Structure 1
């Protein structure tokens, strides 16, 4: 990584619709409209966002770019769960579609998850040795294809996908050249210390999702005592600075190793209904931004 002077930290903080409860999982609570979510992002001073799930923004890339521009927001990337371990499924058409949309909107990061092929994140199959070999090879192939578009494809370790636990994260590091999206929350819930990973493999970190985590609830997820969606609804994720992730140490570590990419604020939440104006996720994201201002000093 380059050690050139970094742009100010807060200028590299982006939003994510999941912080407003917008999620691709069927039945994931009340879904806010894009107009409100994007307007509240801009109200908080954010200047960029990830796309969110299919259906949140317009499907046509040109219309998507217009929608974001109308709210004064740039696109930094998009989360794309794809099945990588099954020989009867070709992930490349979906990847190409995502790459065209990213390019049209000026985004430069494809955030991949090794999806199970099942709905939700509460169960996952065991891919076996052959499935793992196929998954790792496809990661490298997707990274190569994305590079042709001028885009970085980063694998996102994620609860309920095939890359969740610490040994699985290490398997990706050892078995492929694909960079990672370091998601502080999913890593901690899956048993990986995100700060230690940033220290151990800084050159593999291409994108960052910032979450804080209630480690008591996280342990319940790891031990199978509560499902992921239920845990999120129960407060698994906290505003930055109010959980058990050392966000300040993580940022110092990454910046010290030359990280110059985006920090995407992602406090996954589940909404039961439409919040009042000025309430709900807006307040949690505002509190997280206030915490990041103390880190950036």
Structure 2
């Protein structure tokens, strides 16, 4: 039997409702509907979502979340970190300004600078040096504002594959966001990472994944965005990842952070009330309560 995850440590993210920073990703739901559905599902906290989803001002943002009984816990911040001629701090500072003074987690993705997550360059030594330097600078700036930065290995970024994750673990002291789905797609066993690098994990995105589609993306037979459209991400317990084992491993080593439910999706139209993405989130929350397999 898995260790229980307290409801007070389960959060959500707008990407589970198809809300994404990628241009042309799909139909975008408005914040009012997404936040109301989070509340009605019993979610207590949320990441912020992409620019424009929530108000830019921290006061207005907190007020809107408060109306729905939700706590802000930071959010996903895509930054170009590997370019020696590009300073990521201005973009990082803008994101942190919107987070305000409520301590949260800055979930950094080392993006390529291209739109979307279907292409990525190979990095040379000069780019890796820039990435490590900029990662440390952004993490220090976040800490000065009372936030904690973590690096999110992510499909279609410059830190995707197992060798790149290892390179970050060995070359930087910035902790990781353990995203169970992106790690698996990139070739890292998330359960193994949870067991061997627990001291470096400071934030968790829980996804379940169709392993066959994941292998097709990894092998280049299917693009990442197309795989999301085809349902690569599944409600917890309905895919091929050992979510129970990962939670057991983390809780057993004293992890006390957030478990953020994420089943990235692409919408083509406005779903009927209480249908669509909310059904998948409901199923994932039931799994965490031991009510579904």
Return the TM-score normalized by structure 2.
0.96
Q: Which residue of 1 aligns with 2:84?
A: 87
Q: How many Å separate the matches in 2 of 1:226 and 1:234?
A: 10
Q: Which residue of 2 aligns with 1:284?
A: 280
Q: Which residue of 1 aligns with 2:22?
A: 25
Name stretches of at least 5 consecutive residues in structure 2 with no aligned partner.
none
Name stretches of at least 5 consecutive residues in structure 1 with no aligned partner.
1-5
Q: Which residue of 2 aligns with 1:131?
A: 127
Q: Which of 80, 95, 113 is the matching residue for 1:98?
A: 95
Q: Does 1:269 align with 2:270?
A: no
Return closer, same or farther for 1:279/1:17 CA change in 2, 3 Å cut-off: same
Q: Which of 163, 175, 179 is the matching residue for 1:179?
A: 175
Preserved contact between residue 7 and residue 260 of structure 1 (Cα < 8 Å): no
Q: Which of 190, 200, 220 is the matching residue for 1:194?
A: 190
For these two proteins, the number of residue pairs brought into alignment is 290
Q: Does 1:147 align with 2:153?
A: no
Return the TM-score normalized by structure 1.
0.95
Q: How many Å separate the matches in 2 of 1:95 and 1:217?
A: 33
Preserved contact between residue 84 and residue 126 of structure 2 (Cα < 8 Å): no
Q: Which residue of 2 aligns with 1:64?
A: 61
Preserved contact between residue 4 and residue 289 of structure 2 (Cα < 8 Å): no
Q: How many Å separate the matches in 2 of 1:251 and 1:9?
A: 12
Q: How many Å separate the matches in 1 of 2:161 and 2:5?
A: 33
Q: How many Å separate the matches in 1 of 2:253 and 2:33?
A: 37
Helix, strand or coil at the partner of 1:294:
coil
Q: Which of 232, 239, 243 is the matching residue for 1:236?
A: 232
Q: How many Å separate the matches in 2 of 1:7 and 1:94?
A: 38
Helix, strand or coil at the partner of 2:83:
coil
**1:101 Cα deviation (Å)?**
2.2
Q: How many Å separate the matches in 1 of 2:80 and 2:66?
A: 32
Q: How many Å separate the matches in 2 of 1:113 and 1:43?
A: 30
Deviates more, 1:58-67 or 1:79-88: 58-67
